[in-house]
A and B are shown apart, each in its own frame.
Chain A
Amino acid sequence: QQQVKQSPQSLIVQKGGISIINCAYENTAFDYFPWYQQFPGKGPALLIAIRPDVSEKKEGRFTISFNKSAKQFSLHIMDSQPGDSATYFCAASQTSGSRLTFGEGTQLTVNP
């Protein structure tokens, strides 16, 4: 019930391409969905987040799409760059607590 399932585990994209990472959740009480980006040797950094009252949120090259009925959300990275190579974690939390439930992570490699 508390799980967030993330796919794919790893992703290789050419420079300029679109990277797509998907997450699915079971707990309908989740209502905050952030994405974190983590570079090797660094802590995770918030990239973008969405609430269920909107179906899409865009910040620069990064877009979250949210499908409440399917309990799925995804991260799209447009015009992917080698500097985007990192591990991406989706996460979810609910109003009543401060716990973040993380997905298993996606290691993105953008080839030049």
Chain B
Amino acid sequence: DTEVTQTPKHLVMGMTNKKSLKCEQHMGHRAMYWYKQKAKKPPELMFVYSYEKLSINESVPSRFSPECPNSSLLNLHLHALQPEDSALYLCASSLEGGLSDTQYFGPGTRLTVL
């Protein structure tokens, strides 16, 4: 099973709301990623967790807060977002985060910030 699941599929939130995106994989992968993708653009890396520790933060604004409760779960907590944060948020996982590890992507959460 090479499935990464993400919930919710769609999310609409106001600029003062707090919400969370969830990602889950049961492939035994130890590296998990959050990407942001705007329409007709490639995914942009936001965060990487390796063995449940944050290893890469691509200078993402603090209104995005990642969390990795265990090796199968990855959350992205959202607070005080801006309309320009509207995008498709993709979660991915790979075996260990190394060079030859394939990254498996979930279907994404379509986020709209009003």
Interface residues of A (CB under 8 A from B): 31-32, 34, 36, 41-46, 49, 87, 89, 91, 93-95, 97-100, 102-105, 107
Contacts and interface: CB of A to CB of B under 8 A. Distances in A.
B59 interface: no
16 contacts: A31-B99, A43-B4, A43-B90, A43-B106, A43-B108, A44-B90, A44-B105, A45-B105, A46-B102, A46-B103, A95-B99, A97-B56, A98-B48, A99-B48, A104-B41, A104-B42
B107 A42 contact: yes
B101 A98 contact: yes
B41 A98 contact: no
Contact of A103 (B42, B56, B90, B98): B42
Nearest to B102: A46
Contacts of A31: 99
A90 to B, nearest CB: 9
A43 B41 CA distance: 13
Contacts of B50: 98
Contact of A105 (B40, B99, B105): B40
Nearest to B94: A98
Contacts of A42: 107-108
A43 B42 contact: no
Q: Please name the 4 residue pairs, one residue from A and one from B, whose CB atoms are nearest each other, closest first.
A: A43-B105, A102-B42, A98-B97, A95-B99
Contacts of A103: 42
Given A43-B92, A43-B106, A46-B104, A99 B45 contact: yes
Given A45-B104, A94-B99, A98-B50, 19 more contacts: A32-B100, A36-B105, A41-B107, A41-B108, A42-B108, A43-B107, A43-B108, A91-B42, A95-B99, A98-B48, A98-B56, A98-B97, A98-B98, A98-B101, A99-B56, A100-B103, A105-B41, A105-B42, A107-B40
B43 A93 contact: no
A100 B52 CA distance: 20
A103 B107 CA distance: 20
B99 to A, nearest CB: 5
Contacts of B33: 98
